[in-house]
Amino acid sequence: MRLQKKYRRVVVKIGSSIFAAGKYKLDTALLSNIAKQICGLIQAGHEVVLVSSGAIAIGMKILKISNRPKDLASLQATAAVGQHELMHIYKLALKRCGINCAQLLLTWDDFSNKRYQNAKNTLNTLLKLKSVPIINENDTVATEEIKFGDNDKLSALVAVLVDADLLIILSDVDGLLGKNKKVVCLVPKITESIRSLACSTNKRTCVGGMITKIQAAQIVVDSGIPCVIANGKKKGIISQVAKNPFSCGTIFLPVKK
């Protein structure tokens, strides 16, 4: 109970690589399990904000595109096709356990002007209503994100925005790997040697890799929020990390607020 109270407000970021179950296929069973874990956390008294990639990946599935589009217009169109389907999947999965969800599409500009407070008020109200805010980058208008970024840093900004107790970044890796190819379980401080362990990814549907995850971790730990990078395909991973962030993956310890 002490840990549940300490990590009451949790932000979970889900990478698009978790959605993949083969060409043109989605791992719906995994998504259903993730939804059940989120429902379990809410029923146990937690508040959960979900930052989910996947609009472009799902759009590629619907449009039967085998390789991620390279031109901006095609990326934006693919995201537009996939975003409503992404929300539909979450809506059905969460509804099975009686939890409502809401969509928020944000851009980096939303964190640099008066809309910042509006977004914060909306998120806090949704959490009071025991609904799950599902956030994604507004890919159809946020050109720089599609070209260069991903949702890792967005999830960190959201964690700071809502004053979260914990950020969980889920991907298809077990955590940050050391030079011996074993998971680095604990990172007390993000140093150049830690950054040097990161490498980018060349997967079809995702961008960023471990580099942006460490950058995201840097943002939240500097704000006094711990961050865990873990494998989202492991059964019960969200529940396990929320209960004990030291139990699996890589945990980045926060500096003093």
Mean pLDDT, rounded, for 161-189: 94
Q: What is the pLDDT of residues 200-255, one digit of tens each?
A: 444 444 445 898 999 999 999 999 999 999 999 998 999 999 999 999 999 999 98
Instruction: Supply the Cα-derived Rg of the chain in whole angstroms.
Output: 17
**Taking all residues of the chain, what is their mean pLDDT, rounded to a whole number?**
86
Residues 71 and 146: their CA atoms lie apart, in Å, by 10
Residues 55 and 53: their CA atoms lie apart, in Å, by 6
Mean pLDDT, rounded, for 90-107: 92
For residue 135, name the pLDDT band (cuts at 50, 70, 90).
very high
Percent of the chain topping pLDDT 70: 88
- Cβ neighbours of residue 163 closer than 8 Å, sequence gap 6 or more: 9
182 burial via Cβ count (<10 Å: 0-12, 13-18, 19+): exposed
Domain ranges for the chain, please list them: 2-252
Please count the residues of the chain.
Answer: 257
One-letter amino acid for residue 159 of the chain: A
pTM of model > 0.85: yes
C-beta pairs of 77-84 under 8 Å, 24+ apart in sequence:
79/55, 79/139, 79/140, 79/146, 80/55, 80/139, 80/140, 82/54, 82/55, 82/56, 82/57, 82/58, 83/55, 83/58, 83/59, 83/136, 83/139, 83/140
Q: What is the pLDDT of residues 121-133, one digit of tens each?
A: 999 999 999 999 9
The CATH architecture of the domain made up of 2-252 is 3-Layer(aba) Sandwich (3.40)
Kind of pairing between the strands at 132-137 and 47-52: parallel
Torsion 63-65-66-68 (CA) sign: negative
